[in-house]
Chain A
């Protein structure tokens, strides 16, 4: 199985801050990576697909990049509604696997 490692596991930011989350794959997955947001008590929501493509309707403050084994996810100016846990997910191989998640809190 392809292992996905996210860091940090949690972070605290002020409104308006720029935050970055990293995701590292255990092998080369080219660009086959997605990012999800999960708010407390809710189902996950797709934000980014194919490493850098913004899903329709997702605010432009969310962005992502990377290829190979190293990927980054950025929120340019954090908003209060961004409180959530963020997950990366690879689709280069089976089973599909997720990172362990990064919990974002607002200071």
Chain B
């Protein structure tokens, strides 16, 4: 079945970077966008951006303006894995980060990873 498996929890210091992975299985990785959504404790869902893993588009990306300049979404098609790197971490970046498969042009998200807790702490 279609699955997205994310990397484990991370603890980072303010100013550092974190890179979260999302391994896809059960479908053709290059046929669907991968989106990243985060959720702070007790808060709602916040969309960060998307990446088209298709090699023809060289991994086209689109980021929410809030994260422009701090987020980078990449992929390794040989292992069906997407990555989200967030730099210059702040305390307020502490959240669970989800990858989600985007249907059509990321109109809706039909499969989600289990989430990765990123804690920013000194």
Contact = CB atoms under 8 A, between A and B. Distances in A.
Interface residues of B, number: 23
Contacts of B113: 43
B100 to A, nearest CB: 8
The interface residues of chain B, by DSSP majority, are classed as strand
A98 interface: yes
Contacts of B47: 95-98
Interface in B69-115: 98, 100, 103, 106-110, 112-115
B44 A43 contact: no
B57 interface: no
Nearest to A96: B47
Given A43-B115, A95-B64, A55 B45 contact: no
7 contacts: A43-B113, A49-B103, A87-B44, A89-B45, A89-B109, A95-B64, A96-B35
